[in-house]
Amino acid sequence: MNTKKTRLTRISALPLSGCVALCLAGLPGTALAQDQSQDQNEVNQNSNEIIVTAQKREERLRDVPVPVTAVGGADLLATNQTKAQDFFSSVPGVNLQFQNNRAQLAIRGITTSPVTGNPVVGFVIDDVPYGSSTGQGGLFGAAPDIDPSELARVEVLRGPQGTLYGASSIGGLVKYVTIQPKLGILEGSVGGGVQLVRGGGQTLGYSARGAINVPLGDDFAIRASAFTREEPGYIDNVRTGEDDINSSRVTGGRLSALWEPSDSFALTLGAMYQVRDIYGSSNVDARTGSFYEQTDQLGSGRSQSEIQMYRAQIEADLGAVDLTSITAFSRSTNYDNQDFTASPLTVFLFPAIFPPTIPEFGNVLLQTYDVDKISHETRFAGSIGDMFDWIVGGFYTHEKGNYTIDTFAINPLDGDVYGVPVVWRDDIKYQEYAAFANVTAQLTDRFDIQFGGRYSRNDQEMTHREWFQGLPYPADPFYSTTNPEASGEAFTYQIAPRFKPTPDHMIYGRLATGYRPGGPNAGCNDDPVEPVPCEFKPDKTVNYELGAKGELLDGVMSYDVSLFHIDWTDIQITQVSSLGTFTFNSNAGMARSRGFELALEVRPTDGLTLAGWYAFVDATLQEGFASEALFAEEGDRLPFSSRHSGRFSVDYETPIAAGDAFAMFGASATYVGERKGEFVPFPAAAPLRASYPGYVQFDAHAGLDFDNWNVNLFVQNLTNKHGVIGGGFYNQSTFNENWFNYTQPRTVGINVAYDF
């Protein structure tokens, strides 16, 4: 059976510092994670192999007919890439937009707004779907922040992945693969570090983490780990007089157990808990003339995200068929306080609601977005002779979410609350059934074709309740209740021919589709002034791709190139009601994304690695849309996607002290090109649509590996570049063109780890 093989991964003999650049390029020659029961000779013999599970089976990265980037958790730690915005901003074809303390991804330009409809990028943790399938339940698909010490690797799959991974992966998918227990080995690690951020005063950030693997007999083992991380703030609020307000703390841990009584059966149980507290927003007000100052309202900026996930996985050899069954329960509870003062609600309606003696208003918007989710997948895998390999399975999820809004009208001078003009409550239920199959036909020794299909159906229910303060205060409020429903079904498919002219080269084509469910709209009505449809429709992507991967010069050079064209139809968009009091979802016409990605890696001498990639993405609307609530024209760029982006890195490792220790050095330059912000709400606002200038960020690191110790020094954003990663006009409907989010200032630190 595949039980043991699935857990087996390989680490290269290359340095950890070199691995970061290689993995980010998505090429062979990189470490993923180390199974310490493996003999080191086998490791060295397979130093040019990366093993991934992008297609729910174990394959060499260079054999997968999908554009995949993979990076090991240890390598993220070596360069202090501990947050989502650190890692994803340097992956080919991926653009990150960060605002309101959340990291949102756009892969190959497939997005229209962070708060549009349901998520466009899927996330799975050990093949368990993370977050909600609905926009409100998961706050529109924010990327999880999992500490790298918990990760064996992260895999980023570019392009739609609807066949094997289902809904809400129309742009791509991110797989987090955690470190699993090992039988027969007592081992562990402890580590920690400190960092200093420019602009953060004298406050040091710190991290501490530890893990232990304990065998309990020949067929049972447990692994426990815990970490805590505190990052210093560096932004001052000139309104409140508080300094370094955007500090944060993340604490969490995992407990997992493996029982493998025979070679034909294994049971893995896992539990994960993590809580992230952010004590102030990272907004910067451009009107202050400083990259380190903001004017957010009193009481805004605080946010918290708490995640629990429990998982049971069974792997069994049934003879000619392998069985994998995964059942999971997750609970996510979140809240944030957002400064919503620049919204039309504050500007136009607050003065009408409250007595005219009140001279000025602030608006602090409290959002909570919680979801309980049960998911189950059972799949079977096998072969028919030497010609066919197949996977067939079924999937089910049931989600119960709550989304709430409370708008606090405050005195901006002292934070006193005048009243709560709008109270919004949504109870959301989402249920989905799916069946999928994937077959690979080996037509010759060099040529095969993959065929895949997935049928899914979803049903959604919503109970919406709203209280709106009557005019003028303290008049009785208006109450509104609606119960919209939505349902849908879809068939997604993929066809991927693959040709290997030699064992070192592979050429592939890929036709793949992705599907994102529609959903109900809260507050739907047929009011002639503010009509809102009760349901918005699903949208779909079709991806046409041609790619090649391989090695040249006996492994000295590796390459990965892909050319793609994506058609996106019935795109989901967010509109603002004509009075500016709320948002709702609808559908527009068509968009297109096309481009290419090229990654190269050269290892000219022992220990030296040069790696780089370049991505060109042209993501534009093919049909414009114009209404009182949203405006865009044909040919307009989709938000947050850069036409040009790239990265170049140099890594070197050399033995010292007669080969008993190794020194490592590395540096990289990452270029993110010019991007556009969100679409504007009306034609007259077109000149206000935000433009984010391109920027280059330089990072460097050096390390020492001796005995069981590892020491790494790092500098992130060496030149202290202030790259824009979010904000501008219509920033999640706040209408404030002066607020922006920037890359974190220069950060210097050290990490130390000891393995035993």
Query: Sheet holding 284-285: strands in order across?
Result: 284-285, 739-742, 724-727
CA distance 601 to 606: 14
In this prediction, residue 647 carries a pLDDT of: 95
Q: Note whether 645 and 664 are within 8 A (CB).
A: no
DSSP state string for 446-510? SEEEEEEEEEEEEEEEEEEEEEE--SSTTSPPEEEEE--EEEEEEEEEEEEEEEEEETTEEEEEE
- Give me the torsion for CA of 293, 296, 298, 302, rounded to 10°: -90
Q: Which residues contact 156 (CB under 8 A, 6 or more apart)?
A: 68, 69, 70, 88, 91, 94, 107, 172, 173, 174, 175
Q: What is the DSSP letter of 88?
A: H
DSSP state string for 575-608? EE-TTSS-EEEEE--EEEEEEEEEEEEE--STTE
Strand 293-294 relative to strand 236-237, pairing: parallel
- Domain boundaries, given as residue ranges, for the chain: 3-755
In this prediction, residue 297 carries a pLDDT of: 93
In this prediction, residue 731 carries a pLDDT of: 67
* List of long-range contacts for 380-384, beta carbons under 8 Å, 24+ apart: 380/318, 380/321, 380/322, 380/323, 380/324, 381/2, 381/57, 381/321, 381/322, 381/324, 382/320, 382/321, 382/322, 383/320
CA-atom Rg of the chain in angstroms: 26
What backbone torsions phi and psi does residue 580 show, to the nearest 5 degrees?
Answer: 75, 20
pLDDT under 70: residue ranges of the chain: 1-49, 99-101, 114-115, 138-141, 576-582, 626-629, 731-734
Q: Note whether 546 and 90 are within 8 A (CB).
A: no
CA distance 18 to 3: 30
Residue for token pair 């080191």: 40
Q: Name the token pair of 512.
A: 């793949």
Q: What is the DSSP letter of 117?
A: S
Q: Which residues contact 208 (CB under 8 A, 6 or more apart)?
A: 191, 192, 227, 228, 229
* Closest among 195, 205, 225, 202 to 213, alpha carbons compared: 225
Topology of the domain covering 3-755? Maltoporin; Chain A (2.40.170)
Q: Note whether 338 and 365 are within 8 A (CB).
A: yes
Residue 427 to residues 368, 572, 577, Cα–Cα distance (Å)? 12, 21, 21
* Closest among 173, 31, 26, 169 to 614, alpha carbons compared: 26
* Closest among 449, 455, 443, 558 to 510, alpha carbons compared: 449
By the 10 Å C-beta count (0-12 exposed, 13-18 middle, 19+ buried), 228 is classed as: middle
By the 10 Å C-beta count (0-12 exposed, 13-18 middle, 19+ buried), 664 is classed as: buried
Tell me, yes or no, if the pTM score tops 0.85.
yes
Q: Note whether 159 and 545 are within 8 A (CB).
A: yes
In this prediction, residue 6 carries a pLDDT of: 31
By the 10 Å C-beta count (0-12 exposed, 13-18 middle, 19+ buried), 218 is classed as: exposed
Tell me the average pLDDT of the chain. Answer: 87
Q: Which residues contact 659 (CB under 8 A, 6 or more apart)?
A: none
Q: What amino acid occupies position 416? A: D
| Bridge partners of residue 537, in order along the sequence | none
Q: Name the token pair of 658.
A: 């007669």
In this prediction, residue 628 carries a pLDDT of: 54
Q: Which residues contact 746 (CB under 8 A, 6 or more apart)?
A: 197, 198, 715, 716, 717, 718, 719, 720
Length of the chain: 756
In this prediction, residue 1 carries a pLDDT of: 43
CA distance 357 to 143: 44
